Structure 1
Amino acid sequence: MGRVSQAQAQENRRRVVETASRLIREQGTHVSVADLMKAAGLTHGGFYKQFASKEELIGEAAAHAFAELARHHTDGLDRHPGEPDAAQRAAIDAYLSVEHRDSPADGCPVAALATDVAREGAGDEARRVYAQGVRDFADWLGTEDQDGITRLCTMFGALVLSRATKGSPLSEEILAAAREALTVTD
Protein backbone atom coordinates (compact mmCIF):
# COMPACT_ATOMS: atom_id res chain seq x y z
CA MET A 1 0.00 0.00 0.00
CA GLY A 2 1.10 3.54 -0.70
CA ARG A 3 1.81 6.19 1.85
CA VAL A 4 -1.04 8.15 3.30
CA SER A 5 -1.11 11.86 2.49
CA GLN A 6 -0.50 14.33 5.30
CA ALA A 7 -4.13 15.45 5.08
CA GLN A 8 -5.35 11.87 5.32
CA ALA A 9 -3.00 11.19 8.26
CA GLN A 10 -4.44 14.22 10.08
CA GLU A 11 -7.97 13.04 9.34
CA ASN A 12 -7.11 9.55 10.61
CA ARG A 13 -5.65 10.99 13.82
CA ARG A 14 -8.74 13.14 14.36
CA ARG A 15 -10.97 10.11 13.83
CA VAL A 16 -8.94 8.01 16.28
CA VAL A 17 -9.04 10.74 18.95
CA GLU A 18 -12.82 11.24 18.53
CA THR A 19 -13.42 7.49 18.63
CA ALA A 20 -11.19 7.06 21.66
CA SER A 21 -12.94 9.95 23.39
CA ARG A 22 -16.28 8.18 23.04
CA LEU A 23 -14.98 4.69 23.85
CA ILE A 24 -13.06 5.66 26.98
CA ARG A 25 -16.13 7.48 28.31
CA GLU A 26 -18.25 4.42 27.58
CA GLN A 27 -15.87 1.56 28.43
CA GLY A 28 -13.00 3.11 30.38
CA THR A 29 -9.33 3.61 29.61
CA HIS A 30 -8.69 -0.13 29.66
CA VAL A 31 -10.17 -0.43 26.14
CA SER A 32 -7.51 -1.99 23.91
CA VAL A 33 -5.64 -0.22 21.14
CA ALA A 34 -6.88 -2.89 18.73
CA ASP A 35 -10.50 -2.21 19.69
CA LEU A 36 -10.00 1.57 19.44
CA MET A 37 -8.48 1.30 15.99
CA LYS A 38 -11.13 -1.16 14.80
CA ALA A 39 -13.88 1.21 15.99
CA ALA A 40 -12.15 4.04 14.10
CA GLY A 41 -12.04 1.86 10.98
CA LEU A 42 -8.25 1.73 10.89
CA THR A 43 -5.63 -0.95 11.38
CA HIS A 44 -3.91 -1.61 14.67
CA GLY A 45 -0.51 -1.01 13.05
CA GLY A 46 -1.51 2.51 12.08
CA PHE A 47 -1.81 3.47 15.73
CA TYR A 48 1.94 3.68 16.25
CA LYS A 49 2.36 5.96 13.24
CA GLN A 50 0.05 8.42 14.98
CA PHE A 51 0.76 8.07 18.72
CA ALA A 52 3.81 7.32 20.83
CA SER A 53 1.71 5.43 23.38
CA LYS A 54 -1.79 4.61 24.49
CA GLU A 55 -1.34 7.11 27.34
CA GLU A 56 -0.72 9.86 24.79
CA LEU A 57 -3.97 8.97 23.02
CA ILE A 58 -5.89 8.87 26.30
CA GLY A 59 -4.63 12.35 27.15
CA GLU A 60 -5.73 13.67 23.76
CA ALA A 61 -9.06 11.85 23.96
CA ALA A 62 -9.73 13.31 27.41
CA ALA A 63 -8.84 16.79 26.13
CA HIS A 64 -11.25 16.26 23.22
CA ALA A 65 -14.03 15.22 25.62
CA PHE A 66 -13.50 18.29 27.81
CA ALA A 67 -13.42 20.53 24.72
CA GLU A 68 -16.83 19.08 23.77
CA LEU A 69 -18.08 19.87 27.28
CA ALA A 70 -16.83 23.46 26.99
CA ARG A 71 -18.57 23.79 23.59
CA HIS A 72 -21.83 22.63 25.21
CA HIS A 73 -21.44 25.38 27.81
CA THR A 74 -20.75 27.99 25.15
CA ASP A 75 -23.71 26.77 23.09
CA GLY A 76 -25.90 27.04 26.19
CA LEU A 77 -24.80 30.60 26.77
CA ASP A 78 -25.52 31.39 23.10
CA ARG A 79 -29.05 29.93 23.48
CA HIS A 80 -29.61 32.06 26.58
CA PRO A 81 -27.91 35.39 25.74
CA GLY A 82 -27.42 37.56 28.80
CA GLU A 83 -28.90 34.84 31.03
CA PRO A 84 -26.05 32.73 32.42
CA ASP A 85 -28.32 31.38 35.18
CA ALA A 86 -30.75 30.04 32.57
CA ALA A 87 -27.86 28.45 30.66
CA GLN A 88 -26.65 26.78 33.86
CA ARG A 89 -30.16 25.53 34.71
CA ALA A 90 -30.49 24.05 31.23
CA ALA A 91 -27.07 22.40 31.56
CA ILE A 92 -27.97 20.98 34.97
CA ASP A 93 -31.28 19.65 33.63
CA ALA A 94 -29.50 17.98 30.71
CA TYR A 95 -26.72 16.61 32.92
CA LEU A 96 -29.16 15.11 35.41
CA SER A 97 -31.36 13.53 32.76
CA VAL A 98 -32.13 9.92 31.93
CA GLU A 99 -30.72 10.55 28.44
CA HIS A 100 -27.34 11.61 29.84
CA ARG A 101 -27.36 8.75 32.33
CA ASP A 102 -27.92 6.29 29.49
CA SER A 103 -25.35 7.78 27.07
CA PRO A 104 -21.94 7.82 28.74
CA ALA A 105 -20.08 7.71 25.40
CA ASP A 106 -21.46 11.15 24.55
CA GLY A 107 -21.60 12.38 28.11
CA CYS A 108 -19.57 14.22 30.66
CA PRO A 109 -15.93 13.18 30.96
CA VAL A 110 -15.92 14.14 34.65
CA ALA A 111 -18.21 11.24 35.55
CA ALA A 112 -17.01 8.85 32.86
CA LEU A 113 -13.28 9.11 33.51
CA ALA A 114 -12.97 9.72 37.25
CA THR A 115 -12.23 6.17 38.33
CA ASP A 116 -9.83 5.44 35.47
CA VAL A 117 -7.91 8.69 35.89
CA ALA A 118 -7.63 8.02 39.62
CA ARG A 119 -5.73 4.87 38.76
CA GLU A 120 -2.18 5.15 37.49
CA GLY A 121 -2.78 3.60 34.05
CA ALA A 122 -4.33 6.66 32.39
CA GLY A 123 -1.08 8.63 32.44
CA ASP A 124 0.05 11.99 33.76
CA GLU A 125 -1.29 13.96 30.79
CA ALA A 126 -4.77 12.50 31.20
CA ARG A 127 -4.65 13.38 34.90
CA ARG A 128 -3.56 16.95 34.11
CA VAL A 129 -6.26 17.34 31.44
CA TYR A 130 -8.85 15.86 33.78
CA ALA A 131 -7.96 18.19 36.67
CA GLN A 132 -8.11 21.25 34.41
CA GLY A 133 -11.41 20.09 32.92
CA VAL A 134 -12.90 19.62 36.39
CA ARG A 135 -11.67 23.08 37.42
CA ASP A 136 -13.11 24.71 34.29
CA PHE A 137 -16.48 22.97 34.69
CA ALA A 138 -16.68 23.91 38.39
CA ASP A 139 -15.79 27.52 37.56
CA TRP A 140 -18.54 27.61 34.93
CA LEU A 141 -21.08 26.23 37.42
CA GLY A 142 -20.29 28.73 40.18
CA THR A 143 -22.78 31.44 41.04
CA GLU A 144 -22.89 34.24 43.56
CA ASP A 145 -24.85 31.93 45.88
CA GLN A 146 -23.39 28.50 45.13
CA ASP A 147 -19.84 27.23 44.88
CA GLY A 148 -19.12 25.55 41.54
CA ILE A 149 -17.17 22.68 43.07
CA THR A 150 -20.08 21.84 45.36
CA ARG A 151 -22.51 21.98 42.45
CA LEU A 152 -20.26 19.79 40.30
CA CYS A 153 -19.79 17.26 43.11
CA THR A 154 -23.57 17.04 43.50
CA MET A 155 -24.08 16.56 39.78
CA PHE A 156 -21.23 14.08 39.43
CA GLY A 157 -22.31 12.04 42.44
CA ALA A 158 -25.92 11.94 41.33
CA LEU A 159 -25.02 10.85 37.81
CA VAL A 160 -22.67 8.10 38.98
CA LEU A 161 -25.18 6.81 41.54
CA SER A 162 -27.97 6.97 38.98
CA ARG A 163 -25.92 4.96 36.50
CA ALA A 164 -25.08 2.41 39.18
CA THR A 165 -28.75 2.00 40.14
CA LYS A 166 -30.13 2.10 36.58
CA GLY A 167 -33.13 -0.17 36.24
CA SER A 168 -34.48 0.63 39.67
CA PRO A 169 -36.81 3.48 40.66
CA LEU A 170 -33.99 4.85 42.82
CA SER A 171 -32.02 5.82 39.71
CA GLU A 172 -34.47 8.45 38.53
CA GLU A 173 -35.20 9.53 42.10
CA ILE A 174 -31.50 10.38 42.55
CA LEU A 175 -31.48 12.47 39.37
CA ALA A 176 -34.65 14.33 40.37
CA ALA A 177 -33.43 15.05 43.90
CA ALA A 178 -30.11 16.47 42.70
CA ARG A 179 -31.81 18.50 39.97
CA GLU A 180 -34.19 19.99 42.52
CA ALA A 181 -31.41 20.76 44.98
CA LEU A 182 -29.38 22.57 42.34
CA THR A 183 -32.14 24.51 40.61
CA VAL A 184 -34.24 25.71 43.55
CA THR A 185 -34.59 29.48 43.45
CA ASP A 186 -35.18 31.55 46.50
Structure 2
Amino acid sequence: MGRVSQAQAQENRARVVATAARLFRERGTDVSVADVMKAVGLTHGGFYKQFASKEALVGEATALAFAEQEGLRARQDEAHDGQREAARRGLIDWYLSAEHRDGAADGCPSAGLAVDMARDQDGSVARRAYVDGVRDFADWLAVEKGDDGLVRLSTMVGALLLARATHGSPLSDDILDAAREAL
Protein backbone atom coordinates (compact mmCIF):
# COMPACT_ATOMS: atom_id res chain seq x y z
CA MET A 1 0.00 0.00 0.00
CA GLY A 2 1.34 3.44 -0.90
CA ARG A 3 2.00 6.34 1.41
CA VAL A 4 -0.87 8.68 2.15
CA SER A 5 -0.61 12.37 1.37
CA GLN A 6 0.05 14.85 4.14
CA ALA A 7 -3.51 16.16 3.78
CA GLN A 8 -4.91 12.63 4.07
CA ALA A 9 -2.72 11.96 7.12
CA GLN A 10 -4.05 15.11 8.79
CA GLU A 11 -7.63 14.10 7.98
CA ASN A 12 -7.02 10.61 9.37
CA ARG A 13 -5.52 12.09 12.53
CA ALA A 14 -8.54 14.35 13.02
CA ARG A 15 -10.86 11.36 12.54
CA VAL A 16 -8.91 9.37 15.14
CA VAL A 17 -9.17 12.22 17.70
CA ALA A 18 -12.89 12.75 17.03
CA THR A 19 -13.63 9.02 17.26
CA ALA A 20 -11.60 8.71 20.45
CA ALA A 21 -13.47 11.66 21.98
CA ARG A 22 -16.76 9.88 21.32
CA LEU A 23 -15.58 6.45 22.52
CA PHE A 24 -13.92 7.82 25.67
CA ARG A 25 -17.10 9.70 26.66
CA GLU A 26 -19.19 6.62 26.00
CA ARG A 27 -16.95 3.83 27.36
CA GLY A 28 -14.10 5.48 29.26
CA THR A 29 -10.45 6.01 28.48
CA ASP A 30 -9.71 2.30 28.94
CA VAL A 31 -10.84 1.89 25.32
CA SER A 32 -7.82 0.45 23.55
CA VAL A 33 -5.89 2.11 20.76
CA ALA A 34 -6.78 -0.92 18.62
CA ASP A 35 -10.50 -0.31 19.25
CA VAL A 36 -10.19 3.39 18.35
CA MET A 37 -8.28 2.61 15.15
CA LYS A 38 -10.73 -0.15 14.20
CA ALA A 39 -13.66 2.25 14.67
CA VAL A 40 -11.94 4.71 12.32
CA GLY A 41 -11.08 1.99 9.82
CA LEU A 42 -7.30 2.35 10.13
CA THR A 43 -4.59 -0.03 11.26
CA HIS A 44 -3.25 -0.08 14.79
CA GLY A 45 0.28 0.44 13.46
CA GLY A 46 -0.72 3.74 11.88
CA PHE A 47 -1.52 5.16 15.30
CA TYR A 48 2.12 5.59 16.29
CA LYS A 49 2.87 7.53 13.13
CA GLN A 50 0.40 10.16 14.34
CA PHE A 51 0.59 10.09 18.16
CA ALA A 52 3.42 9.76 20.65
CA SER A 53 1.26 7.70 23.02
CA LYS A 54 -2.26 6.82 24.02
CA GLU A 55 -1.98 9.50 26.73
CA ALA A 56 -1.37 12.08 24.00
CA LEU A 57 -4.54 10.90 22.25
CA VAL A 58 -6.54 11.07 25.50
CA GLY A 59 -5.34 14.66 25.98
CA GLU A 60 -6.32 15.72 22.48
CA ALA A 61 -9.64 13.88 22.63
CA THR A 62 -10.50 15.52 25.96
CA ALA A 63 -9.67 18.97 24.59
CA LEU A 64 -11.78 18.28 21.49
CA ALA A 65 -14.75 17.10 23.56
CA PHE A 66 -14.70 20.35 25.55
CA ALA A 67 -14.28 22.39 22.35
CA GLU A 68 -17.39 20.65 20.99
CA GLN A 69 -19.22 21.56 24.19
CA GLU A 70 -18.08 25.17 23.83
CA GLY A 71 -19.57 25.11 20.33
CA LEU A 72 -22.86 23.87 21.77
CA ARG A 73 -22.90 26.77 24.22
CA ALA A 74 -22.16 29.23 21.41
CA ARG A 75 -25.04 27.79 19.37
CA GLN A 76 -27.34 28.19 22.39
CA ASP A 77 -26.27 31.84 22.71
CA GLU A 78 -26.88 32.38 18.99
CA ALA A 79 -30.24 30.59 18.99
CA HIS A 80 -31.40 32.84 21.81
CA ASP A 81 -30.06 36.08 20.29
CA GLY A 82 -27.46 36.51 23.00
CA GLN A 83 -30.05 36.30 25.79
CA ARG A 84 -27.83 34.44 28.23
CA GLU A 85 -30.61 33.35 30.61
CA ALA A 86 -32.67 31.86 27.77
CA ALA A 87 -29.55 30.18 26.35
CA ARG A 88 -28.66 28.82 29.79
CA ARG A 89 -32.20 27.52 30.26
CA GLY A 90 -32.16 25.87 26.82
CA LEU A 91 -28.87 24.16 27.55
CA ILE A 92 -29.99 22.97 30.99
CA ASP A 93 -33.19 21.55 29.49
CA TRP A 94 -31.20 19.66 26.84
CA TYR A 95 -28.54 18.57 29.32
CA LEU A 96 -31.12 17.06 31.68
CA SER A 97 -33.00 15.26 28.90
CA ALA A 98 -33.45 11.60 28.07
CA GLU A 99 -31.74 12.31 24.74
CA HIS A 100 -28.54 13.46 26.46
CA ARG A 101 -28.73 10.70 29.06
CA ASP A 102 -28.93 8.12 26.29
CA GLY A 103 -26.29 9.74 24.06
CA ALA A 104 -23.11 9.60 26.12
CA ALA A 105 -20.83 9.43 23.06
CA ASP A 106 -21.92 12.91 21.97
CA GLY A 107 -22.59 14.15 25.48
CA CYS A 108 -20.96 16.28 28.09
CA PRO A 109 -17.29 15.50 28.71
CA SER A 110 -17.62 16.73 32.31
CA ALA A 111 -19.86 13.72 32.98
CA GLY A 112 -18.49 11.31 30.40
CA LEU A 113 -14.88 11.60 31.51
CA ALA A 114 -15.36 12.29 35.25
CA VAL A 115 -14.48 8.83 36.53
CA ASP A 116 -11.36 8.57 34.36
CA MET A 117 -10.15 12.04 35.31
CA ALA A 118 -10.72 11.31 39.01
CA ARG A 119 -8.16 8.52 38.64
CA ASP A 120 -5.69 10.74 36.74
CA GLN A 121 -3.88 12.57 39.51
CA ASP A 122 -0.60 13.19 37.71
CA GLY A 123 -1.39 16.49 36.01
CA SER A 124 -1.57 15.05 32.50
CA VAL A 125 -2.58 17.06 29.46
CA ALA A 126 -5.99 15.39 29.61
CA ARG A 127 -6.47 16.30 33.26
CA ARG A 128 -5.53 19.94 32.60
CA ALA A 129 -7.92 20.07 29.62
CA TYR A 130 -10.64 18.57 31.80
CA VAL A 131 -10.13 21.06 34.65
CA ASP A 132 -10.12 23.99 32.22
CA GLY A 133 -13.23 22.68 30.47
CA VAL A 134 -15.15 22.24 33.71
CA ARG A 135 -14.20 25.77 34.82
CA ASP A 136 -15.27 27.26 31.46
CA PHE A 137 -18.60 25.44 31.59
CA ALA A 138 -19.24 26.59 35.17
CA ASP A 139 -18.37 30.17 34.19
CA TRP A 140 -20.85 30.01 31.29
CA LEU A 141 -23.55 28.74 33.65
CA ALA A 142 -23.01 31.59 36.12
CA VAL A 143 -26.04 33.85 36.42
CA GLU A 144 -24.39 36.95 37.84
CA LYS A 145 -21.03 38.24 38.92
CA GLY A 146 -19.87 36.40 42.03
CA ASP A 147 -21.88 33.29 41.06
CA ASP A 148 -19.36 30.84 39.65
CA GLY A 149 -21.92 28.35 38.31
CA LEU A 150 -20.31 25.41 40.11
CA VAL A 151 -23.46 24.45 42.02
CA ARG A 152 -25.46 24.46 38.79
CA LEU A 153 -22.82 22.40 36.99
CA SER A 154 -22.43 19.98 39.90
CA THR A 155 -26.18 19.43 40.00
CA MET A 156 -26.33 18.85 36.26
CA VAL A 157 -23.38 16.45 36.10
CA GLY A 158 -24.47 14.54 39.21
CA ALA A 159 -28.02 14.19 37.95
CA LEU A 160 -26.82 13.03 34.53
CA LEU A 161 -24.51 10.42 36.05
CA LEU A 162 -27.24 9.11 38.35
CA ALA A 163 -29.80 9.09 35.52
CA ARG A 164 -27.41 7.08 33.34
CA ALA A 165 -26.69 4.68 36.20
CA THR A 166 -30.41 4.09 36.81
CA HIS A 167 -31.45 4.05 33.13
CA GLY A 168 -34.27 1.63 32.47
CA SER A 169 -36.03 2.39 35.73
CA PRO A 170 -38.54 5.16 36.43
CA LEU A 171 -36.00 6.66 38.85
CA SER A 172 -33.82 7.75 35.92
CA ASP A 173 -36.45 10.12 34.52
CA ASP A 174 -37.37 11.24 38.04
CA ILE A 175 -33.76 12.30 38.65
CA LEU A 176 -33.63 14.33 35.41
CA ASP A 177 -36.99 15.96 36.18
CA ALA A 178 -36.03 16.84 39.77
CA ALA A 179 -32.72 18.40 38.75
CA ARG A 180 -34.32 20.37 35.89
CA GLU A 181 -36.97 21.68 38.28
CA ALA A 182 -34.37 22.61 40.92
CA LEU A 183 -32.38 24.60 38.38
TM-score class, shorter-chain normalisation, is: over 0.9
More off after superposition, 136-145 vs 57-66: 136-145
CA separation in 2, counterparts of 1:123 and 1:148? 24
User: What is the percent sequence identity of the aligned residues?
Assistant: 67
Query: In the alignment, what sits opposite 2:182?
Result: 181
Per the alignment, residue 149 of structure 1 pairs with 150
Per the TM alignment, residue 3 of structure 1 is displaced from its structure 2 partner at its CA by 1.3
Structure 2's unaligned 5+ residue stretches are none
Runs of 4+ in structure 1 off by over 6 angstroms are none
Shift of 1:117: 1.1
Q: TM-score, normalised by structure 2?
A: 0.96
| 1:121 CA displacement | 8.6
Corresponding residue for 1:167? 168
User: What residue is the counterpart of 2:159 in the other structure?
Assistant: 158
Q: Deviations over 1:136-157 (max 9, x none)?
A: 0000000028540010000000
Which residue does the alignment assign to 1:80?
80
> Number of residues paired by the alignment?
182
SS at match of 1:60: helix
Q: Could you tell me whether the CA contact under 8 Å between 1:58 and 1:122 is conserved in 2?
A: no
The equivalent of 2:25 in structure 1 is 25
- Partner residue, 1:104: 104
Segment drifting more, 118-127 vs 31-40: 118-127
Distance in 2 separating the partners of 1:5 and 1:162: 45
Q: Map residues 56-71 of structure 1 onto 2, 5 A cutoff.
A: 56-71=56-71
* CA 62–93 in structure 1, closer or farther in 2 if over 3 Å, else same: same
Q: CA deviation at 1:47?
A: 0.2
Whether the 8 Å contact between 1:55 and 1:123 is mirrored in structure 2 is: no
Cα distance per residue 1:35-59 (max 9 Å; x no partner): 0000011000000000000000000
AA aligned to 2:135 is R
Pair 64,24 (structure 1): closer, same or farther in 2 beyond 3 Å = same
Query: Superposition RMSD on alpha carbons, in Å?
Result: 1.4
